[in-house]
Structure 1
Amino acid sequence: MEENNKMNISRRRFFKTAVLTGMALTVPTGPDKVLAAKTRQLETSHNNGDAAHIRGYRILGTGKAAFEVSALGFGVMGMTYNRSQHPDKKQCIRLLHEAVDRGVTLFDTAIIYGPLNNEELAGEALSAFKGRINVTTKFGHEVIDGKATGRQNSRPETIRRYCEESLRRLRIDSLPMFYQHRADPNVPVEEVATTIADLMKEGKVQRWGMCEVSAETIRKAHIVCPLTAIQSEYHLMHRIVEENGVLDTCRELGIGFVPYSPINRGFLGGWDKQRYYKKVEYRRMK
């Protein structure tokens, strides 16, 4: 019991540091259904008064699609793309470095975040840690001349272009994992999976995943090119994946599950109403 209390305190301290900077965390969740990915126990330790060191790891996916990452990941999105003000860039870089020092090896970004400048920030801050950490990113939302169009675009030629551009912004030679951010209704998922498989053969992409897709879509994609992970919103106030077959499908096929916004954009992380952007009306718990 005492050891569990120490672990919980360590996690809360890390969450507090992260939430104050406006980031979104990716953490393993408790319900048994999420055990599609093998998980080693999350361990933390204190070498000083405030630091929580992450020692646990989990394996997303199986076989050739397996991906070993820290049990707690770091979502970079909120550092340049959120509903409120952006934190200072130097503070963001400092926090990213601190996360690496504390044992985080999984960092998550996307082309649409910013757009583009979130990947640039991740590349600037994390490229020095090649071999120690992995930065995953996402394609799918259309961006033209640095601006989001509001459309989906997962045509093969677009995926290839986004891949090359992401590699450049992230300052790496191969993407550890490339998610399709949202399904494109105009491009069959089998065509998307085939394009990713080709990029893997070329060494430009190592693994791939999908975000916010149905169980049926997961099955279709996985047959063509094995998926490493599915990323969907999942927290105490949003548990749809428990009911729509997504978690069950991940478990059946051996696909990892990465929940985003596990503390509901800070709402479940102990914020008071003064921390919310005044121009946005948020629901308040009574």
Structure 2
Amino acid sequence: MMFKVKAYVTACFSSPSVIITLSLLKTVVSYCPDSDHWSGWWGYNGMMSGPLSWGDHNDWKICKTGKNQSPIDILPNSLLYDPQLQPLKIETASVNGVLRNDKRDLTFLIHNTLEPGVNITSGPLSYTYKLYQIKLHYGRLNTTGSEHRIDGKAFAGELQFLAFNSELYTNYTEAQMNPRGIAVLSVFLSIGDTGNSAFEMFRQKFVLITQKDSCTELHGLPIDKLLPRTDQYMTYSGSLTQPGCRETVTWVLLNKPIYISYRQMADLRETPYQEWIYSNARPVMPLNHRTVRTNINFRKRTRLCSMEITKKYEANPDVGQR
């Protein structure tokens, strides 16, 4: 009798459907661990846990003392045109992962598989960077959502595509602690009359992550649908915008937003267990003499020929006239 029971149990757990289910459960659990003491206390509100207090934690002192912190306010008049900046190369495959609500933001964590994944190269990057997560930053109002600002103005939201240097480091945990470890591709969100098909895949999952630290699987997310059609961008050296604020990031901000519908934004804002009041955007940090380069040539050329000397860097003509 015991032999029959043992054989039955073995047969049940050998079923392909059961194996797949257990595998998915293991994946979800691995991406939704219980918060530890330090990861649980910080947030975006108040004096004790808000951004001004992040640097009080011994391991996060750089949040307060760092000179290359992010996000920043990008002033168009101060951008430095660099003609050597080539277009960014992004492999736009569809990816599988887990959408997580951790009370401070919504994060899409891409599965670590043996597949090549989505790689980001060229532009200001000297190495190949592999996409590992997408973060959604947004606010209650259309003017408080994005972390980065353009000439003092915020967008309704900001998608941040985080990738780690896969040529020098084995994973993002190692990469974020080392030079040239992380690249973040930033895409602004604006409200339009029509929705975004890829963002709709996020929206349909919001009702499944209504508990703190809850997760849900999401399959076949088309990365290309979350990117605007542009080769133009701005780039600078900065940091992660959440603790521990490590200054190992190359930021690339595309110069055009993507548009999502009013309903998509409304449902995003209604996602429960987001423990912030106005937005989950860190306040802008001082530039501290850093250079923000761009491949956008603002200069209007009216002559077919010119005797002017070619320069590697060239400031926009209205720098300093604000």
Q: TM-score range by the shorter chain?
A: under 0.3
Larger radius of gyration: 2
- Could you tell me the TM-score, scaled by structure 1's length? 0.25
Q: Using CA pairs under 8 Å that are at least 6 residues apart, name the structure with larger relative contact order, 1 or 2.
A: 2
Q: Which structure: greater strand fraction?
A: 2
Q: What is the TM-score when the length of structure 2 is the normalising length?
A: 0.23
Q: Which of the two has greater helix per residue? A: 1
